[in-house]
Amino acid sequence: MQKVSVIVPCYKRISQTVKTIGLIFNSKNFEGEVIAVDSTRDNSLKKALFKKFKNKDFSYLKPKKIGISINKNRGAKKAKHTILIFCDSDIEIEKDTILKTIKALKKQKKAAALTGRVFWKTKKTLDRPRKEDRMIKKGNTVFVENIFSRYMATYKDVFLKVGGYDEKAFNMRGEGADLSVRYWRNGWPLVFEKSIKVYHVHEAKESIALRVKHPEWLIAKDRLLLALKYDSLDSEDNFAETMNMIFSKFKKQGYFRVLQGIGKNIDFICKNKNIKAKKAEYDFKFFEVFSKKPLLEKALSRAEKKLKPWKS
């Protein structure tokens, strides 16, 4: 099996992180390294990881600044291998998940990055993809508009070409959606592979899902910043539909949730409101990649040739 670098961004939740990394090393035919990048301020997680994995191909990094985007970027730069797999520390994989991932990434000639199905472990229901995560099938390939970072495989060179994750505006969350649109804007397609399954343990101790009172407040902040970055505020296409899908479940309070989220994060929004995406090969906007069909066809027609160096 081709060697891969698996990057695990970490924050506390010691037992879950140890389990997540253990499942990676115990994967079927696994060859490669695991890089844990830790935001925990003390050394509790570090001690536990070295105790368990000191005899493995294991690296540990601790950036001075904290944040999931910082962690993932540092891990990517440290990586020794061509293929990167980003796996959150509250994700559990199946025995053959990594094997299926590598095979699918190599087989899909137009895939620059790839993900699969993410299930809530306890509830046994689907976490991702959701209704708002639009997909389109062409031949035997299912392209997806966004990959929300829980589990993603890509090529190191491609990841670095688009600038990695945004450490300024999306350092603590929203990093996957932002990276996804930059992949598409630079002609690097995202693919969904149904056979790949992972499990999201959101109730793990210290999980952000448990520490945040109203996740929708942060969703509102992220969506506004993404709209500003990719010039989507004047659009009436899928961006508006997606916002409606997310917040309509709150019924008459939906509009209030959006305003609350913006109000709660107004200082951060103002600080970052002037972020603008760099010029790219294709003018795709956030959540509107599949709405621009001629542009999409053009991007897909060129993708296989662009990716040929990494597929061989």
- The 10s digit of each residue's pLDDT in 283-307 is 999 889 999 999 999 999 999 999 9
Tell me the C-alpha distance between 151 and 199, whole Å: 10
In a domain, 243, yes or no: yes
The model carries a pTM of: 0.93
Tell me the C-alpha distance between 113 and 190, whole Å: 5
User: Count of domains in the chain?
Assistant: 1
Residue with tokens 């294709």: 282
pLDDT grade for 147, boundaries at 50, 70 and 90: very high
Contact present, 89 and 8 (Cβ < 8 Å): yes
Q: Which distant-in-sequence residues (6+ apart) come within 8 Å of 271 by Cβ? A: none
In a domain, 14, yes or no: no
In a domain, 239, yes or no: yes
151-168 confidence digits (pLDDT tens): 999 999 999 999 999 999
pLDDT higher at 176 or 211: 176
Per-residue model confidence (pLDDT) at position 206: 58
Contact present, 33 and 60 (Cβ < 8 Å): no
Find residue 138's DSSP bridge partners: 141
66-75, 142-151, 197-206: which range is least confident on average? 197-206
In a domain, 15, yes or no: no
In a domain, 263, yes or no: yes
* Section 23-47 average pLDDT: 95
Mean pLDDT, the chain, as a whole number?
A: 92
Residue with tokens 């952000």: 208
Tell me the C-alpha distance between 170 and 176, whole Å: 9
In a domain, 260, yes or no: yes
In a domain, 289, yes or no: no
Per-residue model confidence (pLDDT) at position 209: 47
Tokens read off for 50: 């070295």
| Closest to 217 (Cα-Cα) out of 239, 175, 250 | 250
Tokens read off for 82: 């061509």
In a domain, 241, yes or no: yes
> pLDDT exceeding 90 applies to what percent of the chain?
77
Per-residue model confidence (pLDDT) at position 204: 60
Domain of 254, in residue numbers: 211-272
Phi first, then psi: give them for residue 120, nearest 5 degrees.
-70, 125
pLDDT grade for 212, boundaries at 50, 70 and 90: low
Contact present, 34 and 22 (Cβ < 8 Å): no
